[in-house]
Amino acid sequence: MKHKFLLCVGNKGYEASLEVRKLYEHIPDKEAERHGQVRIVDESGEDYLYPSIFFAPVRLPMETRSSLTAHSSGHGL
């Protein structure tokens, strides 16, 4: 499975759950995307929906992606 990462660029109202300038692993959810949301694993270690405007996609080299997913415990990176 190809891992996609999102950079948090806003967290208004979700300050305890999201850290601005932090990478989060994206979990595909087509239904959420239809409603302008994305599913990520937040600081609680659980996956939740957040407004997509809080995140920007980032392109990482394959080696970097592999390294991050190998060392990830499910939290933001």
Q: Which helix (H) or strand (E) holds 30?
A: helix 30-34
Residue 5 near residue 59, CB atoms below 8 Å:
no
User: What is the full per-residue pLDDT of the chain (77 aa) written as tens digits?
Assistant: 566 899 999 999 999 999 999 999 999 999 999 999 999 988 888 999 999 999 999 987 787 777 776 655 455 55
Residue 49 near residue 32, CB atoms below 8 Å:
yes
| pLDDT at residue number 59 | 85
pTM: 0.79
Residue 4 near residue 68, CB atoms below 8 Å:
no
| pLDDT at residue number 2 | 60
Domains contained in the chain, CATH given: 4-71 (2.30.30)
| pLDDT at residue number 23 | 93
Rounded Cα gap, residues 34 and 31, in angstroms: 5
Residue matched to tokens 């979700």: 14
